[in-house]
Amino acid sequence: MARTKIVVTGGAGYIGSHAVVELYEAGYQPIIIDDFSNSQESVLDGIKDILGVAVPCYRIDCGDEAALRGVFDQEADIRGIIHFAAFKAVGESVQQPLKYYQNNVGSLITLLKVMPDYGVANLVFSSSCTVYGIPDQLPVTEQTPTKPATSPYGNTKKICEDILNDVASVSNGAIRTILLRYFNPIGAHESARIGELPLGVPNNLVPFITQTAAGIREKLTIYGDTYDTPDGTNIRDYVHVVDLAKAHVVAVQRLLDAKGEAVETFNVGTGRGNSVLEVVQAFERATGQKLNYTIGPPRTGDVPAIYADVTKATQELGFKTTATLDEALASSWKWQQSLGK
């Protein structure tokens, strides 16, 4: 029996590669689209090692309409798309806003122009808790008002959500979307064959931690310790990337089963908040590695605290995370060790 084809844009990226593995293991046929502007081709080898088969991959930019149509022409009977492809560094987006608007918003618009011509109705969109801005109350639910974004990156996610809602309102069912607003992915596949692979200096906390522990970085800088939080450092909801990948598989199946409304939104997190200092302490506890860290000034665009209410995902998707913070950090360290220096 033929596997159901699901296109994964950005499928060689951090979350995308884990989603590709989970899709295949759940019986789907993932098709990767990636321009490798923020990923490495070695990821494809890691996916192949885990699955025992090579996953089809097209090296194109999702903003290139002709190239995108070429993929759809070649791959018949695509049933759905998971759209990860986007630039994602908050700090960089503040410095280079046009780069982020052109890529993140433009690629979605191109995708939405192409999908109806090939009868592809189902889209899982990689959104973000950044759409909540600095929330008035915690934890945030899907009904928590979105706010003006604190960075151009966050604003691209908000704009893309607005676009998807606008398109759904006039598509008469031709486009159905699940928006997954997720929190802070960490960790790596248990095989240590795929994981977070930042190019250059990491923008996220955990790879900076693991590179510091490995001696690649001299020290870890914690950006700010005067926030209105118990220990003064930022609080985030850290979700294991494999759990997050599994949420995308559940969302794809919900779309294929034509359940729910034309556009549905789900938070994907653990429902718990941990501070940066707590993550540092958990890493040291889980790995036995002591970290050299210092306190620096707060970064522009950083939100003091945010974590998810995951009731809706639990009740309607039947989805729950299972990995602990310590387990996720231990897998990140195992991945870092597999890379060497």
Number of structural domains in the chain: 1
**Domain with 34 in it: what CATH number?**
3.40.50.720
Give me the mean pLDDT over the 172-181 stretch: 93
Confidence (pLDDT) at 313 = 97
Q: How many residues does the chain have?
A: 341
What are the residues whose beta carbons fall under 8 Å from the beta carbon of 301, sequence distance 6 or more? Answer: 90, 91, 93, 94, 150, 151, 153, 154
In terms of Cα–Cα distance, which of 151, 43, 39 is closest to 99? 151
Q: Specify if 105 maps to a domain.
A: yes
Point out the catalytic residue in the list 153, 227, 238, 307.
153
Q: Specify if 314 maps to a domain.
A: no
Q: Specify if 231 maps to a domain.
A: no
Average pLDDT, the chain: 95
For the cut 90, the answer to whether the pLDDT of residue 203 exceeds it is no
Q: Are 304 and 241 in contact (CB under 8 A)?
A: no
For the cut 80, the answer to whether the pLDDT of residue 94 exceeds it is yes
Does an H or E element contain 270, and which? none
Question: Would you state the structure tokens that stand for residue 276, as one six-digit string?
Answer: 């940066």
Q: Are 248 and 7 in contact (CB under 8 A)?
A: no
Q: Specify if 316 maps to a domain.
A: no
Give me the mean pLDDT over the 325-329 stretch: 98
118 carries an active-site annotation: no
What distances in angstroms separate CA 151 from CA 82, 90, 95, 132, one per listed residue? 24, 6, 10, 12
Q: Specify if 296 maps to a domain.
A: no
Q: For residue 146, what are the domain limits? A: 5-186+239-268
pLDDT confidence tier of residue 341, bands split at 50, 70 and 90: low
Q: Specify if 98 maps to a domain.
A: yes
Distance between CA atoms of residues 18 and 1, nearest Å: 24
| pLDDT single digits (tens) 39-80 | 999 999 999 999 999 999 999 999 999 999 999 999 999 999
In terms of Cα–Cα distance, which of 19, 110, 10 is closest to 59? 10
* pTM to 2 decimal places: 0.96
Q: Specify if 306 maps to a domain.
A: no
pLDDT confidence tier of residue 103, bands split at 50, 70 and 90: very high
Confidence (pLDDT) at 255 = 97
Query: Which region, left, alpha or beta, applies to residue 156 given φ > 0 means left and ψ of -120 to 50 means alpha?
Result: alpha
| pLDDT single digits (tens) 237-259 | 999 999 999 999 999 999 999 99
Q: Specify if 163 maps to a domain.
A: yes
| pLDDT single digits (tens) 260-311 | 999 999 999 999 999 999 999 999 999 999 999 999 999 877 889 999 999 9
